[in-house]
């Protein structure tokens, strides 16, 4: 399959390669990797396929040195049936393809929703080592994704890093997002650090160096070498009130 970049660079397969998060990351990834973008939508330079099909996933990961798994449905309004089909089953298929090709490094996109019930002043900054407390079916799906990733690493000897991403690739229009913002540039720094990490397994919060310190990123700093440079506070005066309910992750707005 085609890949874009320096022929001598390691090959990184990016699932969900046309998605919002991937679009933010591509300028950073191209500095280090030869890229094979995989997506269901058609576009030049993209392998158009359904990564949820086992045979398609096997072909897509052929020759990969690393996988960045971003594909899935990111809506917190999903039912569990939708989450399982779009996120859980797809992740399992990607991991099975990675195992078949003995891919040594995987980075899986998790979410703050894994720990959404801790997003209250009593727990700030939330410790990533706490037991998961998802705030919605989407968050529960990411709990399963992390468990699948841990099992894969233990069984296959691969390095697996799960990144519990905050608000990524969206404008900072509401105050409730200030404590969970991940800037475009910090997203690039975080994912590159994760891809280059040799840890057997880790799950780390992915937010910027925000003054509103709601999520503890010490493990990402120490284990991955993540060095965030941005702070959501520069947008605080322009951020407005809540636009309405989403899920319990967003219920607390005491920092307005």
Element (H, E) at 69: strand 66-69
Active-site residue identified among 118, 138, 177, 226:
138
Q: 190: buried, middle or exposed (CB in 10 Å: 19+, 13-18, 0-12)? A: buried
CA 203 – CA 220 distance, rounded (Å): 8
Q: Which of 55, 35, 40, 202 is nearest to 129 (CA)?
A: 202
Cα separation values, 117 from 123, 126, 160, 219, Å? 10, 10, 25, 20
Cα separation values, 50 from 17, 40, 68, 90, 120, Å? 12, 5, 16, 9, 38
Cα pseudo-dihedral 11, 36, 19, 195, rounded to 10: 0
138 has catalytic annotation: yes
Quote the tokens at residue 223. 């284990």
Cross-sheet strand order for the sheet of 201-206: 46-48, 34-39, 11-15, 66-69, 105-111, 159-165, 201-206
Catalytic residue positions, numbered = 138
């Amino acid at each position: 399959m085609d890949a874009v970049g320096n022929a001598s660079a390691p090959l990184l397969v990016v699932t969900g390669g046309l998605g919002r998060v991937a679009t933010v990351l591509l300028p950073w990834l191209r500095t280090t990797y030869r890229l094979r973008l995989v997506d269901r939508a058609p576009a030049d330079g993209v392998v158009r396929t359904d990564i949820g099909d086992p045979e398609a996933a096997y072909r897509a990961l052929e020759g990969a040195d690393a996988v960045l798994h971003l594909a899935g449905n990111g809506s917190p309004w999903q039912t569990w049936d939708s989450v399982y089909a779009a996120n859980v089953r797809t992740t399992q298929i990607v991991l099975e393809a990675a195992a078949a090709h003995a891919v040594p490094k995987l980075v899986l996109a998790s979410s703050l929703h894994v720990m959404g019930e801790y997003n209250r002043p009593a727990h700030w900054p939330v410790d990533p080592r706490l037991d998961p407390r998802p705030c919605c079916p989407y968050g529960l799906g990411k709990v399963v994704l992390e468990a699948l990733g841990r099992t894969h690493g233990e069984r296959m000897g691969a390095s697996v890093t799960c990144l519990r991403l905050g608000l990524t690739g969206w404008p900072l229009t509401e105050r409730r997002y200030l404590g969970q913002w991940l800037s475009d540039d910090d997203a690039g720094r975080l994912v590159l650090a994760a891809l280059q990490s040799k840890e057997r397994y880790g799950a780390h919060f992915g937010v910027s160096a925000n003054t509103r310190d709601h999520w503890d990123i010490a493990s990402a700093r120490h284990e991955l070498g993540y060095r965030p440079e941005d702070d959501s506070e520069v947008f605080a005066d322009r951020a407005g009130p809540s636009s309405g309910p989403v899920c319990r992750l967003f219920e607390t707005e005491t920092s307005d």
